[in-house]
Structure 1
Amino acid sequence: MSGRLKKYQLGKLFLLVAILNSLILFIYFRTENQTDLLRLINLDNFQYVIQFSDKDNLCVAVSKMNTLIVGMCHMNSVKPFVFDKGILRSLETGYCVGEEPSNWRLLQLTTCEYATKLTLINNTLVQQTRNHHQQQFCVSVSHRGKALLHPRLGASAALVPCYKAASRTSLVLQTKILEDIWTPPPAVSLPPEMTPCDSPACGMVGRFRIQFSYEGRCLGVTEDNKLVVSFCNPQESQAFFYSNGTFTSVERAMCIGVANSDSKELILTQCDNSARLLYLDKELRHGRTRKHCISPLKKSVATPTPDLGAKVGLVKCQRPATSIELLEETEFLRARAALMLPLPHNESCPFPACAINKRPDFPKLLPKEEVRRCGELPECLTVVVKTARRPYFVVRLAQSVKVNLHPDVPIIVIDDGPDQYTLEVMEQIGMFPNMRYIIGDTEDIGIAAGRTIAVQLVKTRYFLNLDDDHTIPQNSGLTKIIDLMDTSDLSVVGARGRTSWAGLIDFLPDEEGRPILRQLHGTCVSKSQLLSFNKLCHRCDLTINTFLARTQDVLQVGGWSKELKISEHVDIFLRLKANGKKVANCNNFQSVHDPSTGNLIFGMNVTSFDKKAYRKLRWNRTKQMGNRFLNHWNIHKFTKVGGKGPLGSNKTDLDQIGS
């Protein structure tokens, strides 16, 4: 008996060891699996350009009919794409590369559910096939039904058999393309006594606006060619061509130089008298010794707060106001496209942002034939989260999504880097295989850039924007809001907040005639903006940070402003309004905001970041980004009217709001 008992106990021991080994292997492989998603990446490297290998100066362009054609690799033609898991998605339109319904497999931009899946083989874009023995097709050029060996301008991009003698394409980082395609203006004659430029910054070539980093204001030019602090205004001549240490005004064909040796004030002058300025460490340094930098002046002294209209000159470096950024001209104009809208005939509001006051028409229901119903929730919804080293908050949020929405709803998380997390943290994240958790390779990505990158990776029709300390309750009402979006022409629907925070926004002059922006809390209700087909929703300009949005519509407006680390929320709604996108706020839609750490799931009651350092960083940045926001929209002040409950006491303010 005792021998049998020993064998039995020994068998149980072996079984227990086997189970333990299996459990360890399961956790290991699950963690290893998730490690692919927890990787350090350069978030700028998502954007690619499709370039033809045989001709370095030819790229894939997009025609007015959304077909893909051969175009020149210059700023107006280059079209950036996100390449993710075989799908090429246009950053400008949100549409994906797919086939036309034709025999020659021509390529066009189409809705992403009909996208063509491609893979990179030897740096060639090839259509993926399940059977490797099947005929493979490569992205190439077709003209009148024939594959072309050498691409021609205007010819169609198409999928052709890879064995044919056809043009080859490859993906090139957009930043690499932009470095290679600048065409400098005619060479400027330099004074003979000027020594050759020996700095790496001399190799920079491009068209830029010169921005003072902290305030977000630009170097402007007066009518008499003096350089002053100005709003970064796309309607003014502020662009400079920078090459070999010389800044040449694009519009005036004059160069930046020093007015005289005594004042060191800067002016536009003949290029023979230009000043050699080198862009080094975010400073524009002058001369051979490089001890003097460009800075705004106040009574001939450098100032850390550049005032509008202040003179600009050369001062000793290492002063607060000498920090400079060069804003690439095309990106600058794209980011401020709203300031180039035609002004309405309204003498009481004469500055560029006034054009955004026009409110889109009331949302309306779609015709039955245009309604596309969402089937399973994971097929049409992705949750988007930007976090700053707070993975346990994200895990709590993911658990609420799993329990109260659907276990397979995709979640995309962008986290500040650059350090990896411990195995313990990775195990917690690994419990949600539907969550793509991406850590950037820089310490401080910023909310705006992080959210834009996350939305660029979304493959579903809608995304739900959440902060990391939000959770989804059982009665969120989200399915009803998705049904509302399916059947109407709304672009964004915001959730209910604790107060009537959502409201209308408008631009107008203050008593001194200076441009300001007003946010009027509660006016969606008090101004009778109720939707005719839904008595729980009101038309709005601005909602809280929990909102459901059409992925394509947010991508079409360029996402959040890259210039703003924080203070990005009002900015995205101004972009939407300027582009005529329709926004509503609904009382039957909600999330839960819980910033406390005491009830984090899995027993984790700490966060993975230094709270004190983070609060200090945010406090120091609030004013800087607030200034950048004001100057991004060329306004003097952002004021909020109201706060708790609907407005109604200030009738004068309400009457001024456009309908």
Structure 2
Amino acid sequence: MKNANKVPTISVIIPTRNRWASLKRLLQSICLSVNVDLKNDVEVIIVDDASTTKPPHFIFDFCNMFNKFLIIRNEKCLGASASRNRGLVASKGKYLLFVDDDAVLPPNFISTLMKLLDENNNIGMAGGIIKYLKKPTKAQYIAWRVNLTPLAFLHGNITYESAKSIDSSELLDADYIPTAFLVKREIVMKIGGFDEKIPLYYDDSDFGYRIKKLGFKIVIDPSISVYHDTGDTIFSNPRKIYMCIRNSSIFMVKHSNIHRLFVSLGACILSIRYFFQIFKQRP
């Protein structure tokens, strides 16, 4: 399958840490997400964010299935944004697929989205509806909008109200796409990649919103479903709560106006005190 002299068209960049079984499942789905004649145009770049265990042997079984298969290891944990940027530097593809290691892609996912971007110069990023892997009929994310209100740190973003009312033949407009998305390389280079000050939570919001501010469309193809093996919610983990509030504040500083900014920062400070008081009172 490999052709060392051929420059890949698509680079798949996957940050991971200590989730080898999930990564194997994702890689298996990637094999099915491109047409057979496109596999020689795909390189896969895994960025191991300082996992505490070595990659199992089965990971290397995928080496000969793509144009290029590369594993980059961070010596210390840098976070998803920095890991994606390391993959970006090593990549060669015209199109970049950023995908989380706990996702499962449907058949022809890459082929369908590449065709969509190739035929529409005004579209900078594309993805599918995100559904729960363990509840595949239930949508987790449909088409998310950035919320720049003072309470953005609490309710995050706004989705379409119901998946039942969506016409699967019409593209949906979004401000960003989490979990798995295809984007044009030239656009990623224009915005300078991912903001490493936002290592997780709001990293995808910031990335997509900067693309949107360049004037490109971000779209969801509702005929495609990506399956997400999501774990616990942020409210079950104090560190996740802190990171979500911290990064939403950074996001607001970058993208909101002054009035909203000061109101939001004040609300964030109060919320941090509130959440930590709750956890101190827990038995």
* TM-score, L = length of structure 2: 0.68
Residue 60 (structure 2) aligns with: 430
Q: Please say if 1:548 is aligned against 2:186.
A: no
Q: Which of 1 and 2 has greater Rg? A: 1
Return the alpha-carbon distance in structure 2 between the equivalents of residues 435 and 626 of structure 1: 36
Residues 206 and 251 of structure 2 are in contact (CA less than 8 Å); yes or no, is this contact kept in structure 1? no
Residue 157 (structure 2) aligns with: 519
Provide closer, same or farther for how the CA distance between residues 561 and 485 of structure 1 changes in structure 2, counting only shifts above 3 A: same
Residue 400 (structure 1) aligns with: 29
Return the alpha-carbon distance in structure 2 between the equivalents of residues 383 and 515 of structure 1: 30
Structure 2 residue identity aligned to 1:627: R
Residues 176 and 205 of structure 2 are in contact (CA less than 8 Å); yes or no, is this contact kept in structure 1? yes
Residue 88 (structure 2) aligns with: 455
Q: Please say if 1:465 is aligned against 2:136.
A: no
Q: Please say if 1:502 is aligned against 2:149.
A: no
Structure 2 residue identity aligned to 1:468: D
Residues 128 and 226 of structure 2 are in contact (CA less than 8 Å); yes or no, is this contact kept in structure 1? yes
Residue 12 (structure 2) aligns with: 383
User: Following superposition of structure 1 onto structure 2, how do residues 13-32 of structure 1 map, counting pairs within 5 Å?
Assistant: none
Q: Which deviations, in whole Å up to 9, do the C-alpha atoms of 1:431-450 show, x marking residues without a partner?
A: 122321111111x2101111
Residue 410 (structure 1) aligns with: 43
Return the alpha-carbon distance in structure 2 between the equivalents of residues 469 and 413 of structure 1: 13
Q: Please say if 1:583 is aligned against 2:212.
A: no
Residues 23 and 102 of structure 2 are in contact (CA less than 8 Å); yes or no, is this contact kept in structure 1? yes
Provide closer, same or farther for how the CA distance between residues 622 and 387 of structure 1 changes in structure 2, counting only shifts above 3 A: farther
Residues 142 and 163 of structure 2 are in contact (CA less than 8 Å); yes or no, is this contact kept in structure 1? no
Residues 415 and 437 of structure 1 are in contact (CA less than 8 Å); yes or no, is this contact kept in structure 2? yes
- Which one of the candidate residues 111, 114, 126 is aligned to 1:482? 114
CA shift for structure 1 position 632 = 4.3
Residues 507 and 516 of structure 1 are in contact (CA less than 8 Å); yes or no, is this contact kept in structure 2? no
Structure 1 residue identity aligned to 2:211: L
Q: Greater strand percent: which structure?
A: 1
Return the alpha-carbon distance in structure 1 between the equivalents of residues 198 and 237 of structure 2: 12
Q: CA RMSD in A?
A: 3.8
Return the alpha-carbon distance in structure 1 between the equivalents of residues 142 and 264 of structure 2: 19
CA shift for structure 1 position 557 = 0.9
Residues 382 and 410 of structure 1 are in contact (CA less than 8 Å); yes or no, is this contact kept in structure 2? yes
Residues 536 and 587 of structure 1 are in contact (CA less than 8 Å); yes or no, is this contact kept in structure 2? yes
- Which one of the candidate residues 627, 635, 639 is aligned to 2:246? 627
CA shift for structure 1 position 392 = 2.6
Residue 257 (structure 2) aligns with: none
Q: Which deviations, in whole Å up to 9, do the C-alpha atoms of 1:252-300 show, x marking residues without a partner?
A: xxxxxxxxxxxxxxxxxxxxxxxxxxxxxxxxxxxxxxxxxxxxxxxxx
Structure 2 residue identity aligned to 1:578: K
Return the alpha-carbon distance in structure 1 between the equivalents of residues 207 and 162 of structure 2: 18
CA shift for structure 1 position 626 = 2.3
Return the alpha-carbon distance in structure 1 between the equivalents of residues 75 and 249 of structure 2: 29
CA shift for structure 1 position 587 = 0.9
Structure 2 residue identity aligned to 1:485: L
- Which one of the candidate residues 549, 566, 575 is aligned to 2:200? 566
- The secondary structure found in structure 1 opposite 2:91 is coil
Structure 2: which 5+ runs fail to align? 132-138, 254-260, 268-283
CA shift for structure 1 position 544 = 3.3
Residues 130 and 228 of structure 2 are in contact (CA less than 8 Å); yes or no, is this contact kept in structure 1? no
CA shift for structure 1 position 592 = 2.6
- The secondary structure found in structure 2 opposite 1:536 is coil
Provide closer, same or farther for how the CA distance between residues 633 and 458 of structure 1 changes in structure 2, counting only shifts above 3 A: same
Residues 494 and 547 of structure 1 are in contact (CA less than 8 Å); yes or no, is this contact kept in structure 2? yes
Residue 124 (structure 2) aligns with: 491
- The secondary structure found in structure 2 opposite 1:590 is strand
Return the alpha-carbon distance in structure 1 between the equivalents of residues 145 and 177 of structure 2: 9
Q: How many residue pairs get matched? A: 233
Residues 507 and 517 of structure 1 are in contact (CA less than 8 Å); yes or no, is this contact kept in structure 2? no
Q: Which deviations, in whole Å up to 9, do the C-alpha atoms of 1:540-596 show, x marking residues without a partner?
A: 213332211112212211222111221112121222222223211111223232469
Q: Which deviations, in whole Å up to 9, do the C-alpha atoms of 1:450-485 show, x marking residues without a partner?
A: 1122122221111222111222233x4432221111
CA shift for structure 1 position 524 = 11
CA shift for structure 1 position 518 = 6.6
Return the alpha-carbon distance in structure 2 between the equivalents of residues 637 and 417 of structure 1: 34
- The secondary structure found in structure 1 opposite 2:171 is strand
Provide closer, same or farther for how the CA distance between residues 418 and 484 of structure 1 changes in structure 2, counting only shifts above 3 A: closer
Residue 278 (structure 2) aligns with: none
Structure 1 residue identity aligned to 2:61: M
Residues 96 and 183 of structure 2 are in contact (CA less than 8 Å); yes or no, is this contact kept in structure 1? yes
Q: Which deviations, in whole Å up to 9, do the C-alpha atoms of 1:482-526 show, x marking residues without a partner?
A: 11111102110121123353133353568xxx9999732117999
Residues 495 and 544 of structure 1 are in contact (CA less than 8 Å); yes or no, is this contact kept in structure 2? no
Q: Which deviations, in whole Å up to 9, do the C-alpha atoms of 1:126-164 show, x marking residues without a partner?
A: xxxxxxxxxxxxxxxxxxxxxxxxxxxxxxxxxxxxxxx
